[in-house]
Structure 1
């Protein structure tokens, strides 16, 4: 007989998950020939560009990361703005990731157990807190309150990722849409809910550019948790189930 081959499915386009670069991957990882560390540096630089566009005469006195993932982006952001970078939180290494913990009360308790503010870095200062992303908003709200309790004059909050408005269905234990702080809310509404004096999100186009700059062959990403566009064609009916 003869050997034959037949294509049984239409090949899909390659679309790596962009949330890996934002949060999940270690900074020393290389994925798709892109350095996660360098991608996060570029996220910080692009976020700084946005801040300069929106508030060229900003009054930020210190940039403080939420440990650990946000450190790389926060460092690049501080350098680009020519503002002091400061470590304002001490992290308890024995508390896991809060956004995937079951139960709102447990998540709120875990934030206080996980982080402790260094009052010296907050007292009478206008601080910009930087996190990799905002999912439920539980952690962000608690951290902003901690910064105020430590004496901050104003608390700004920047996310290296765009608003997370939709669930991820490809393996990340992300909550239902109604549990996401950005779902069906404007950025002004989120700002008020979190208690920040100013809330800045990364633009999706800038996030994509920050990652793709490391590999010109990457032309598509799974950005579903930000855009609601699923690479496998998932619709609202599936999400409702």
Structure 2
């Protein structure tokens, strides 16, 4: 049964939902604890569930549950996850229902061997592969697209790890930054388009030995004092075993298509993603936006914390003072978990509160990183008007989001995006703004320092690098 999509009047789709974060540790005596801290750094990539699997070389243990990292794991849990190898995962569901059965890492035991997997991304042909595997006798335990990888690897596991990896991944299509773990090896695999980030780090153990870390973002390496070595390359299978590191490149080399939304919104500003500093890129977006918009106003402000860095760049470039016209309450839960519409509206109001004496009689520019559905933005603009703002303008540090994502971001369907079928003037009227300006696609790319052909821009221009299953929805695998 398909879950009903919330209506456009519900505030939870104000921002795109986060994707997932993955990490892996090899050759560290407290591998599970290091994975715990790495996941803590990656919490922004998924707040729905968390899990860690650890191996001592012969036995694999796993613990996972719904909730945030510090709520899921206790000291006792981590003590039970013994071993020098571990993988971890934080999740926001983009495929498969939000339930404990779909938490990751996923783990299977087959012919005396154990395999665990943690996946960031979406497989666009998962439903097709699942149906074929079920017809051939496979029994699935979850509704996750990631599980098809385990079934595919099991079919050729007897031929060795390298063969099983190449057999399984030759069949799948889409976005995958994936970490797998056997009893004695760690494997990192990144799709040939390089949609999602994945990096490799080195850590020095107390006894002088060398350990290895793989993670979605470099901020995870920083927290555990690991040295960034390089990105896992698009199309690379990196195998880390006792003999050292080795790589397989089973796909033909091609131009990558990195997700530019990592720089707009998803990645932490202290991370280096696709070789680009996220903080610098967002600040540059704000500077370029100031040149394009050229609005006369009294102050520039973000809605914390989403537009902070673009707002800083905008203020510096325009010469208009940066102020925090609304104050965020950091102790408010996520709005969409509230049971009634009236309580959801209350949570929106209590999360951000205007500074009335600062806003009264002022012409203000709100700097946002993106507008997805716009409904919460509409209520926030109304709150600024009630606080006495004379004019309210909004500038957005990316182009209008008009197309769905099939590669691991939980955008709503295209018809539910506020920019679908509306121009800037119509969106401004809907939000109650005096004016609205989006950063052009050319300037967004310029802010990153990379060329346009290096990015996936499908959510803006509708050009998909890998043909998606357009009938796909979050619950498609449950049908």
Q: Bin the TM-score by the shorter chain.
A: 0.7 to 0.9
> 2:435 and 2:363 mapped to 1: Cα distance?
11
Tell me, yes or no, if the aligned pair for 2:378 and 2:431 is still in contact at 8 Å.
yes
> 1:198 and 1:97 mapped to 2: Cα distance?
29
Instruction: Could you tell me which runs of 5 or more consecutive residues in structure 1 were left unpaired when the two chains were aligned.
Output: 53-57
Q: How many residues align?
A: 227
RMSD of aligned residue pairs (Cα, Å): 2.6
Deviation at 1:51, TM superposition (A): 1.5
> 1:206 and 1:17 mapped to 2: Cα distance?
16
SS at match of 2:456: coil
> 2:252 and 2:360 mapped to 1: Cα distance?
59
Tell me, yes or no, if the aligned pair for 1:107 and 1:138 is still in contact at 8 Å.
no
2:364 aligns to what?
127
> Residues 169, 109 of structure 1: CA spacing in aligned structure 2 closer, same or farther, 3 A cutoff?
farther
Instruction: Could you tell me which runs of 5 or more consecutive residues in structure 2 were left unpaired when the two chains were aligned.
Output: 1-165, 167-248
SS at match of 2:455: coil
1:223 aligns to what?
457
Q: Among 256, 278, 285, which residue is 1:43 paired with? A: 285
Aligned residue runs from structure 1 range 2-81, under 5 A: 10-52=252-294, 58-81=295-318
Deviation at 1:104, TM superposition (A): 10
> 1:68 and 1:222 mapped to 2: Cα distance?
25
Query: What CA deviation, in whole Å up to 9, does each residue of 1:14-51 have, x standing for no partner?
Result: 11111110111111010121000000111001101101
Tell me, yes or no, if the aligned pair for 1:21 and 1:36 is still in contact at 8 Å.
yes
Q: Among 104, 116, 138, which residue is 2:353 paired with? A: 116
In proportion to residue count, which structure has more strand?
A: 2
> Residues 219, 104 of structure 1: CA spacing in aligned structure 2 closer, same or farther, 3 A cutoff?
farther
Q: TM-score, normalised by structure 2?
A: 0.44
Tell me, yes or no, if the aligned pair for 2:315 and 2:321 is still in contact at 8 Å.
yes
Greater gyration radius: 2
Deviation at 1:114, TM superposition (A): 1.5
Tell me, yes or no, if the aligned pair for 2:366 and 2:392 is still in contact at 8 Å.
yes
SS at match of 1:143: helix
SS at match of 1:156: strand
SS at match of 2:365: strand
> 2:274 and 2:415 mapped to 1: Cα distance?
33
Q: TM-score, normalised by structure 1?
A: 0.84
1:83 aligns to what?
320
> 1:203 and 1:107 mapped to 2: Cα distance?
33
In proportion to residue count, which structure has more helix?
A: 1
> Residues 108, 190 of structure 1: CA spacing in aligned structure 2 closer, same or farther, 3 A cutoff?
farther
